[in-house]
Each structure stands twice: as structure tokens, then as C-alpha cells.
Amino acid sequence: MNIIKRRARGGDNHLSVSIWTDEIGRPLVVEQVTATLFYLDGDQGGARSVLEGPIAMNVADKGHRYISIFALPESDYNGKTLYVDFDAVLSADGSTLHMMEVIEVDEPLSNQSMKVSF
């Protein structure tokens, strides 16, 4: 399983990309690729709260690259971590492959200020 770590801002449209390759970088032929955006709720004992999905991902420029776009919530998750779980079925033998993206959510630029003195 691969894990990707990225940063994003609350309220943004976040582009998630999954690239399915073997351990030496050769493309894998996969199908039924889905993505699920979720949050691990510490107040509920680490329960998985699904925010969106599972949704079917679209093939990008090459057959082993897939993309999806998620609208990140505006304020509920600022300063927190969201996760995207990618699942695919390997065409060769029907086994299920998993990949995860970790998204650190920053406050929107409109909420941030810079203090400068001259």
C-alpha cells in the first residue's frame, strides 16, 4: 500500500491523483478505481466518518493514473487531517489494491493574516 501526504486549504477543490505501479515503477492495469474522503473522529473513539464517496475515479493521461476532485469543507476541518482511501481491482488476477492520501488541512487564505511592521 502506498501513502501520499499533501497539504490543502479548507474550502478548496482538492485534486487527488492515484498512480498504480508495481514496486519498480511499471504501470499496473487496474479497473473499478474508487476514492473515499473521510475523517477519523477522535471524539468518537477514532470512528471513520465518510465525507464523500466512494466515487469512481477518472482515467488521466495514462491508463494507470486516475484523478478525482473533492470539495474540502470550508471550516469544520481546518487544522485537522483528512484521508482519501483509494481502492482498485488488479485486472490480472482480480485482487484488490489499496492506496491512501493524507491531507493536512490549513485555514483558507481569507482567514489568515500577516503582521508586518516597518
pLDDT for the residue numbered 44 = 64
What pTM does this model have?
0.81
Q: Which amino acid, one-letter code, is at 2?
A: N
How does residue 35 score in pLDDT terms, banded at 50, 70 and 90?
very high
pLDDT for the residue numbered 111 = 60
Q: Which three cell numbers mark 4?
A: 501520499
Contact call for residues 22 and 97 (beta carbons, < 8 A): no
How far are the Cα atoms of 39, 47, 109 from residue 95, in angstroms, in the given order? 26, 26, 42
pLDDT at 108 over 80: no
How does residue 103 score in pLDDT terms, banded at 50, 70 and 90?
very high
Element (H, E) at 49: strand 47-56
Bridge-based pairing of strands 30-41 and 96-106 is: unpaired
pLDDT for the residue numbered 60 = 87
pLDDT at 36 over 90: yes
How do the domains of the chain map onto residue ranges?
Answer: 2-107
Domain 2-107, CATH class in plain words:
mainly beta
52: left (phi over 0), alpha (psi -120 to 50) or beta: beta
pLDDT for the residue numbered 115 = 67
pLDDT for the residue numbered 102 = 94
pLDDT at 43 over 90: no
pLDDT at 110 over 80: no
Contact call for residues 34 and 57 (beta carbons, < 8 A): yes
CA atoms within 13 A on the CB side of 77: 25
